[in-house]
Structure 1
Amino acid sequence: MPQSSRPLRKLGFLTIGLFDAAEPRAGHESTLGVIELGERLGFDSAWVRHRHLQYGISSPVAVLAAATQRTSRIELGTAVIPLGWENPLRLAEDLATVDILSGGRLNPGVSVGPPMHFDRVRHALYPDTSEAEDFGYERVSRLLGLVRGERVTDFRGTEGFESYSDRVEPHSPGLGRRMWYGGASLRSARWAGEQRMNFLTSSVVRAEESEDFAAIQLSHVREFRAHHPDGERARVSQGLVVVPTDSASPGQRAKYEAYARQRLPRTAAPQGPARMLFAPDLVGTSEQIAERLSAQPAFREVDEVAFALPFAFEHEDYVQILTDIATRLGPALGWSPAA
């Protein structure tokens, strides 16, 4: 097997936390149970993905607040919060609060751009300011400054019996170093590096100068590090859909393979006006998946991954997949579980 030039140091997983609209608590409890299992299996991080007006987690920060009280070691991340739906000041307060509750384990990942289906939700989301809202990088810059402790107001002191701060409270000093940007373009990779953020690269990239997914992703990793003050030490996490079948039942194996086949056609060419290019899902034994990952140039340049769990599977499927990742795939990639 070809060896990675960077031994796998951190292993994480990502879930969207689906639920039944008629009984939403069960799905949220399942997500929390999966995070607890991840900690027991030795994973370094668990990430949740944002889903607005869908039957997936709409409030990952709230879910992770609950997870802080059920775990003690595993890092907790968002991949990603679309900032077009957020007020940066209020989000900064929530992130800092959850980071304090977790003991400094929160890894917030964010992205920019107009909210999905903005023309249909703009009047509910921004009834008076939809034309004036800035959905670009400036929104992330505001959040970064607020999280890192920049002044919000020119007043600090006591008024009557109450004391006021001029920055977001609570302030969590290390949180600013654990902010991630989820990017799919060279421009985003460059900007994230210049802002001293960490970089999340996933199974979706923008086909700008090539239609070769692996080459595009590699160019993003290198562009980010070329513009980050930490250079080659700058943190990059790769996220692909990975489904090991080592301990899967025949029925599970058939379901996983059918899922990957159904999604495979979208990987053949860039999709839509934005020319988004998708990576194929990796389904097979841990040995087979490790072989395919080690052949990927972008994987060979990272030492952190957050493998995405497939959508719409059952809780017992996620237990099997996570167990195989932690006990078979991770070690095959040179990773050791946390104590």
Structure 2
Amino acid sequence: MKKIGFLSFGHWTPSPQSQTRTASDVLLQSIDLAVAAEELGVDGAYFRVHHFARQLASPFPLLAAAGARTSRIELGTGVIDMRYENPLYMAEDAGAADLIAGGRLQLGISRGSPEQVVEGYKYFGHDPGEGGDHAEMAREHTRRFLRAIEGDRFAEPNPRPMFPNPPGLLGIEPQSPGLRERIWWGAGTRQTAVWTAEQGMHLMSSTLLTEDTGVPFHQLQAEQISMYRDAWSAAGHEREARVSVSRSIFPIVNGTDRAYFGVAGGGGDQVGHIDGGVARFGKTYAGEPDQLVEELAQDEAIAAADTLLLTIPNQLGVDYNAHLLDSVVRYVAPELGWR
């Protein structure tokens, strides 16, 4: 059994071929798709975060709105770039959104992906300093965020406050019970996956891996997952670890599917360069349901994960993406024992 969710990058463009031509379109349709996915029995609605781009960027208003419109589905991110975040303000936003959703947030965070602008986090007021490490800055923001949502009390109270204070130091409010146990880290390497386990965060294995050993993407990702689970056990965490992988899966069950994705499948992994290093990208799965079942049964990383996030073409609109999700849940998932 696997949890199945969707992952939307939230693109919009004024093109007449796009169903999301404005930021308003993509935000409102993201909420509507979360509602539709819940009605279909899908388990999760996840949203990518990119700054300085015509894509989803500010996750907490969206998560709160989707939380108010749904009642069961998990709501998450994949991922929030922690280089850009004020960790205490983020803790307030996350706590409030999680309370609105009734404790259903599954927040994916990370160092982030290649940016639209050079050192964009500096425009947000975050600078690691001369010779500083922006990746370490992201991890320090993460540590402060995690302490805040754990209820750390660190602020000296005003002796003459506007409202009475409880005794002792003060912490961030509101607190949402259990949120700390629903934080994921997006890891692009095996070593980062080990670090993720040591921090007690769930593993959101990236849509690409920023290392290449020559083996297929799904096998390298399965090795990453195995190292993560071993490190989780060694760290002695009492709760159960969760692992997600993301895939582009397009069942072809009608003429519209064929027109969109009839030539998308059949390829292999892609190897390229990102941030000066080699990266390996996974393949796209597109084809008749029985063909997909046969191919996906060989994917070792999907087999090792408990959560599968389906990357969706959000610009094709709510109805079509709901159809895609339904096709996976109806025709593919049962044959593979995922449902």
Q: Same fold (TM over 0.5)?
A: yes
Letter in 1 for 2:7: L
Offset, 1:15: 0.8
> What is the aligned length?
324
Offset, 1:45: 1.0
Separation of aligned partners in 1, 2:155 and 2:293: 51
The aligned counterpart of 1:45 is: 44
Give identity over the alignment, percent.
Answer: 28
Letter in 2 for 1:93: E
Q: Is the 8 A contact 1:82 1:115 kept in 2?
A: no
The aligned counterpart of 2:17 is: none
Give unmatched runs, 5+ long, in structure 2: 15-20
Q: Is the 8 A contact 1:286 1:332 kept in 2?
A: no
Offset, 1:167: 1.6
TM-score, normalised to structure 2, is 0.86
Q: Secondary structure at the match of 2:147?
A: helix
The aligned counterpart of 1:255 is: 260
CA-to-aligned-CA distance 1:198-232 (integer Å, 9 cap, x gap)? 00113311224444312210111011111113599
Separation of aligned partners in 1, 2:223 and 2:145: 27
Letter in 2 for 1:235: R
The aligned counterpart of 2:173 is: 169
Letter in 1 for 2:176: S
Counterpart check, 1:276 vs 2:269: no
The aligned counterpart of 1:9 is: 2
Q: Does the C-alpha gap of structure 1 residues 9 and 268 become closer, same or farther in structure 2, counting only changes over 3 Å?
A: closer
Q: Does the C-alpha gap of structure 1 residues 316 and 216 become closer, same or farther in structure 2, counting only changes over 3 Å?
A: same
Separation of aligned partners in 2, 1:62 and 1:245: 34
Separation of aligned partners in 2, 1:324 and 1:77: 22
Separation of aligned partners in 1, 2:6 and 2:104: 15
Q: Secondary structure at the match of 1:17?
A: coil
The aligned counterpart of 1:29 is: 28
Structure 1 segments, 4+ long, off by >4 Å, are 127-134, 230-233, 258-261
Separation of aligned partners in 2, 1:19 and 1:270: 26
Which of 188, 211, 223 is the equivalent residue of 1:207?
Answer: 211
User: Following superposition of structure 1 onto structure 2, how do residues 66-215 of structure 1 map, counting pairs within 5 Å?
Assistant: 66-112=65-111, 116-117=115-116, 119=118, 121=120, 124-126=123-125, 131=130, 134-136=134-136, 137-155=139-157, 159-163=161-165, 166-215=170-219
The aligned counterpart of 2:18 is: none
Q: Is the 8 A contact 1:17 1:30 kept in 2?
A: no
The aligned counterpart of 1:4 is: none
Give unmatched runs, 5+ long, in structure 1: 1-7
CA-to-aligned-CA distance 1:17-58 (integer Å, 9 cap, x gap)? 223466321222111111110000011111011121211111
Letter in 2 for 1:177: E
Q: Secondary structure at the match of 2:247?
A: coil
Q: Is the 8 A contact 1:112 1:139 kept in 2?
A: no
